[in-house]
Amino acid sequence: MQQQSPQNWKREPWVWLVIAIPASAVVMGVVMITLATATWSGLVVDDYYQKGKQINRVLARDRLAQQLGLAASLRLGDDNMVEIRFDPGVDFVPGERIELALVHATLPGHDRRLVFDNAGGSMRARLELPGKGRWNVFLQTPEWRLTGSLRYPQQRSVELLPNMIGE
């Protein structure tokens, strides 16, 4: 009977498979802990009831914008200038001050807000977006609201219209 010499364990593939499974779990655990401590996803709303009551007020603002025939376009220039133009068919834009809010879809720390004095047809201001991603755009006063969605930097312009979901 021939006696086999023992092989080195480092050359055995099954040993490496057994070692790789727990080692990959440790590596992924370290990655998850690092992501959890290094990023901040924002706060969750505590009072859902109050948020729900505000929905009716928002819907009324959208309805008024539609009744007034409000529509606008937003364009971001290469020089970090944002320009808002109301459609030529809009005769009257109510409100003294108009707020432009760009709300990042996932990172609340990147949200931007500008307030314009109502100048009618066209408004310009300097605006620098902190990064790329999807932005929800709101042009609004306490009485009316126009909305749109922008993927920056692929998109540089967006049409702002009344949000009439469910109508």
For 77-130, how does the pLDDT look when each residue is reduced to its tens digit (9 = 90+)? 888 889 888 888 777 778 788 899 999 888 888 888 988 887 667 788 888 888
Number of other CB atoms surrounding residue 89 within 10 Å:
8
For residue 155, which phi and psi values (nearest 5 degrees)? -105, 140
CB atoms within 10 A of CB 55: 9
**Percentage, residues of the chain above pLDDT 90:** 23
Same domain? For 17 and 75 the reply is no
Identify which has the larger pLDDT, 165 or 134: 134
Residue 50 lies in a domain: no
Residue 61 lies in a domain: no
Q: What's the number of domains the chain is made of?
A: 2
Looking at the structure, tell me whether residues 155 and 83 fall in a common domain.
Answer: yes
In a domain, 62, yes or no: no
Does 19 share its domain with 95?
A: no
Clarify whether residues 144 and 99 are in a common domain: yes
In a shared domain, residues 106 and 149: yes
Quickly state the pLDDT bin for 31 (edges 50, 70, 90).
Answer: very high
Same domain membership, residue 75 and residue 129:
yes
Q: What's the domain range around 31?
A: 9-36
pTM: 0.67
Contacts of 102 (CB under 8 A, 6+ apart): 111, 112, 113, 127, 129, 135, 136, 137, 138, 150
Do 77 and 147 fall into the same domain?
yes
pLDDT for 33 equals 94
- Domain identity same for 101 and 27: no
